[in-house]
Every structure is written in C-alpha cells, then in structure tokens.
Structure 1
C-alpha cells in the first residue's frame, strides 16, 4: 500500500512540474532559427548531457531533460544547444539550424527570450571584420569572389582561456545589381577548425533564406579559440546581374557584427569594406544616332529621338523589359510615361556602332 502511494505521488509530481521544451535549430532559445544560433554551438562545443528520447530535427516542441550547464552570459540551458538531442554538442547540431532556418516559435519552455549578451571583454585595439573583393571592377554577368576576413591587431591581449571563438554578421547590398539566385557560400581556405552558416535569398547551405538584398553569416570554432588570430572566416561568390543597366557601387555593407569569446563575452569590433565598381563596358559613343529625350525628368510623356532604324527597348530600374518600339527611325516619338510609376527608366538601342542606353526620370505630377 505504501509503495503504491509513493508511486502515485511520483507520477503526479511529474505531471505537475513544467517540462523543458525545445525547438531543434533554435539553439539560443530566442524564438528563431537563424545564423546567430551558431554562436552558442561554438561556445558549448563538446559538452555532453542527457539524451532527448524520440528526438527529431522537425520544427516542433519536444520535451527534454534539463542539462546541468548553462551558457555563461545568456543563461540558455545547454539542452537547447544540443539541437539533434543525441546528448553531445557537436557539428551535427548544425543540420537543425539549416533545416529550420527562419522558422519562428513561441512555445518553448522556458519561453523564448532575446539573445542578449551583456558582458563585454575590453581590448585596446579593436578587431576589424572586412569584406575583400578579388577585383575592383566588374560588369554585367561577371563573377566576383568576396572574402570575409577577421583582422586581430594584437593576439596577445586574449588569454589562452578566453580567446574569440565565434562571429556573426549581416551583409547588405543593392539587390538590383546582384543575381541573388547565383550567390554561393564557401568555407574559407584552411578553415577545417571552423563551422559556418551562410544564408542567401535562395539557400542556407540546405535551408531557407533571409530577405532580398541581405546575406547572413556566422562562423565558430569547435569549442576552441579559433578566432584569436587574423584569418579569413568565410567566402561567398556573387554574380553581377546580367540584365543590369546601372553603373556604380552595389553598396555592400556589414551590419550587426558580433564577435564573442569562449565565455560568451562580446568583443567590440569595427567593419571595413573594399570598393567594388560596376561599370558598363558598352558605354555609348556620341554619334548622330544617339538617343535623346526631353523633357527629362518628365511627368506624363516625353519626346524620344534617335536610334536609327533599330528597335528601342524600355527597361525599369531592375532591368525588366517593359516595352519594345519597332521601326523607330530618326524621327522623334512621343512616349507615354503616365502608365508607369515614378522612378528611373532606361531606353536601350543596338546601333551599328555600339549599344546605347539613356536614363530618364519619371516624376510624380
């Protein structure tokens, strides 16, 4: 009788205690699976704890037993970092991030909280995260290699027990100049000691994607201070949009760079980006058949002149073909622009001498 009573109390107590509930891929339990989830993996790599029975990588709530360890600053229990539930924090936990990238959740226990790192490791000389292009100029259809390089000015400021171990950032750019479907992430040279997540619009290694005009990147050592010295930490390949009619810079910029050490402390970091200029190698020569438009800017319509006997094409600012004018000839034509929203447009024509483009601006009335 006494045994039965104790057994019933044990079962009842189990139902009254709140269970730890995790979502595979949300390693920092902030409600989202994304590139920032690689940082806890780098800090806690190699730690072991209870196995999560009937574990799956599917994005669904899964009950788990608390580990006896938490991340040192954010306080996240390491059961969340063990994304695949096999009781070992290792590179296999990366799969859950890629599989569930951009997924959202509000049902974990404890509830998801913003991933806030409030402790700072002070250094006299700030490290620099750089974007390095393998060329200074590119034109439509060209392929450009971009290296993400971490420069550590003085490695001696980091004690062996507390070196930098993980880095994360967002990279913004003008999506009208880059063929986002062709963007690819690669591991940096000699980076076997690093894990990385690279997310573009169309891929995340094997997962989902961030917004257009944005890349997301993170790299982390395997529980070691792999970022204590200057080195490349990642690489991506971009292709210049082959329909591009614009010239100038694609506007690459590094945002929200975050460098942390093994104690999950933030190390202040600055950013730099090399220059990359998109040029038009078929710039029009000034000839008798050059395109001319007036008024420019316009509101409702304009007069377009030139173009010889070739067809003239009208493109929007993203390089999308809007209209083709046949049998244009040397005379001027009135072009109705009232049907298009305000913005920049381009007329293009292939003359016997070259390919010419003319930029016009449509303004609101």
Structure 2
C-alpha cells in the first residue's frame, strides 16, 4: 500500500510539475498575436496565417486586456518560433473572426510581456514590388468638399508578388486638409482568390493616420499583382479658413509607411512604399479657362444671376458643384446624360461671388458667377 501511495504521489507531482512548466511557457495578452508588446494591425498577420487552426483553450477566455497564462502550448508554431496559442486572441481554442474582434476591442493596448520585434523591411522602387497609390486617378483641381478616390495597387506585371500571405501598412495624411479617409478592400482582387482573404481597418484613434491589414485565410499564399483596394478621402469643407486667400492653393501629401508584408513561410519581404501629392485649391485659384474645345464650348448664363443659372454643354454633364468664395461646397448635383442643366439658386444664398464647377467626360471647368440679391 505504501508503495502504491508513493507512486500516486509521484504521479501527482509529475502532473503538477508539468502544469507548472506549461504555464511557464508563456503569458499571452489577448489580441497581441505577434507578442511584440502592443495590440495593433500587425497582429492580424499572425491570425491570418494560423486561420482555422484549433488547439487547447486557455483557462481564461475572452478579450479582457490582461495577460493570461498558456497552460498547454499548441502543436503548431510560427516559423520564427512563436506558438500558435498567441494567435488565439480570445483563448477559445480556435483561430477565427472572434480573434479579430479581440484585436479590435484591445486595439492600442500595451504590455510588458512582449518578446518579439517588429521588422519593417523597406523595399526599393523598381527593384522590389511596390504598394502603389495610383496618381492617375487624382482629380486635377480638388477644392472644398471634393470627394477623391485613389486606387491602391500591390505589385506590377514587371514586379509581381510571389507567395503572398499578408500585408499591414499605415496611411498617413494631413488631417488639417482632409476631413476623412477610408480604405475599401477590393473583394475581386487577386489576393482574394482560392481560399479567400480578409481585411482589417484599425480604429481611427490617432488623427492623421489609418492602420490597415490584409491577410489570406490560412497558410495558402498566392502570386499576383494589381489593384487591392481604394483609398477615399474628402477635402475639408472650410478649406478657405486655412488658405491665406481664395486664390491660394496647398499641397497635401498622402503617404504609405511602415509596411510589413509576409510570404507563405511567414518571413518579412521587402515592399517599396509610395505617396501621392494632392494640390487643393481655393475657389479663385481654380483655372477659369481651357483649350479643350468641349469645355470651352460650355455656356453658363445668366451671369450675373438672381434665381437660377443655366448650363449648356457640347458634351455630357456628369456633375455640377457650387462653391462660395471661401472654397466651401454649397450644393452638388449628380446628373445623368444631360447636356443642358438648370441650377436653382436658393433664396438664402446672399449676393456675391461664387464658382460653378462643371464635371464632364472631357474634364472639369470652373467658372465664376455673381449672384445679385
């Protein structure tokens, strides 16, 4: 009996020791999937790589912002040695969308237990694949209230991505001139082929930047290049308050920085960054004449006007915008396949100088008008 009792005690001691060793294997902070000491968009890359994997659930589950012990490590490890248990952000034993929710809820939280380092591998244009802001889509003369869409491309035919797994990056912009900025993932993108992918937009806690991540679902890398999404932004309505006069303009930079891209082996690969310059104009800084025969043939009358103005155009009118002398957008009209359009001037518009912006297939024409009241 004594021998059996001693064996029983020894077995219990071994179990207890094993549990202690397992606990010592790590502490996870819910949401910090890469264990670098901060919860942010970079963690999405680890979640995406381990997507769909299952393992032992933690004793504590949920996304409470406090470290939790890893009682039993998972069988799988990231190639750099980090256990998959860190990707299980909510601790329920499966890596899925709930872990993205935990990243969102704990976004920006920091802790002292991080052991990994972030590696941003800055690429060189024309040598490495590039994350590109398509400058060709920036309108020529944006002013107050102008809505701008800029396609975002990853790689090119000459420098495509090979074995692409995921990418995280930050879009930086001047919040003095840009009222809002958004990123929309293109679900028809080459990144979304096969097993599929997902995107993650970090909360806009810090004005002037937007943190974004896109990852494949599981370790199913793809090759390709081309459009992956669209950056949309709006120029502030009260642009005139920032410019010295209505005839001034200002150069606004949209910048992509801190890019981390990983391949199918989860190693960081170099990606070149990009930026785009958007010149925003006060209403009197806009060009008021053009050599384009279609735009030059547009008539705006009567001028001065009291209650309305008419627009006659040799080409189809797509949109008409009315701005005041401070560059503030007052009215915008979307038009379908019309060459003649009447703009009724609201009674509450005071007399003075205004600009009418006419958008056509041939370009944009801006004309000054005077309202007599």
TM-score range, shorter chain: 0.5 to 0.7
Structure 1 residues without counterparts, runs of 5 or longer: 286-314, 320-349, 356-365
Equivalent position of 1:31 in the other structure: 37
Equivalent position of 1:222 in the other structure: 217
Secondary structure of the 2:153 match is strand
Taking the aligned partners of 2:124 and 2:143, their CA distance within structure 1 comes to 43
Contact 2:161 2:224 in 1 (8 A): no
Matched, 1:147 2:154: no
Contact 2:30 2:66 in 1 (8 A): yes
The alpha-carbon deviation at position 268 of structure 1 amounts to 1.9
Taking the aligned partners of 1:198 and 1:44, their CA distance within structure 2 comes to 19
Aligned residues: 274
Contact 1:169 1:258 in 2 (8 A): yes
The alpha-carbon deviation at position 210 of structure 1 amounts to 4.5
Out of 222, 236, 241, the residue aligned to residue 236 of structure 2 is: 241
Equivalent position of 2:166 in the other structure: 166
The alpha-carbon deviation at position 35 of structure 1 amounts to 0.9
Superposed CA RMSD in Å reads 3.4
- 1:39-67 Cα distance to aligned partner (Å, 9 max, x none): 22232223332222441122122222211
Taking the aligned partners of 2:90 and 2:108, their CA distance within structure 1 comes to 18
Equivalent position of 1:293 in the other structure: none
Taking the aligned partners of 1:147 and 1:281, their CA distance within structure 2 comes to 26
Secondary structure of the 2:76 match is coil
Secondary structure of the 2:31 match is coil
TM-score by length of 1: 0.65
Contact 1:164 1:227 in 2 (8 A): yes
Contact 1:127 1:153 in 2 (8 A): no
Equivalent position of 1:84 in the other structure: 90
- 1:85-130 Cα distance to aligned partner (Å, 9 max, x none): 2323233321111111111111x4xx43323489x99999521101
Moved more, 147-156 or 121-130: 121-130
- 1:170-209 Cα distance to aligned partner (Å, 9 max, x none): 12121110114xx33322241552211223xxxx2xxxx3
Equivalent position of 2:268 in the other structure: 266
For 1:126-145, what aligned pairs fall within 5 Å after superposition? Answer: 126-132=128-134, 134-136=137-139, 137-145=141-149
Cα separation, partners in 2 of 1:128 and 1:51, compared to 1, 3 Å: same
Q: Name the one with the larger strand percent.
A: 2
Taking the aligned partners of 1:79 and 1:101, their CA distance within structure 2 comes to 19
Secondary structure of the 2:252 match is coil
Secondary structure of the 1:254 match is strand
The alpha-carbon deviation at position 38 of structure 1 amounts to 1.3
Equivalent position of 2:253 in the other structure: 251
The alpha-carbon deviation at position 267 of structure 1 amounts to 2.1
Equivalent position of 1:58 in the other structure: 64
The alpha-carbon deviation at position 353 of structure 1 amounts to 3.6
TM-score by length of 2: 0.64
The alpha-carbon deviation at position 224 of structure 1 amounts to 4.5
Secondary structure of the 1:66 match is coil
Equivalent position of 1:71 in the other structure: 78
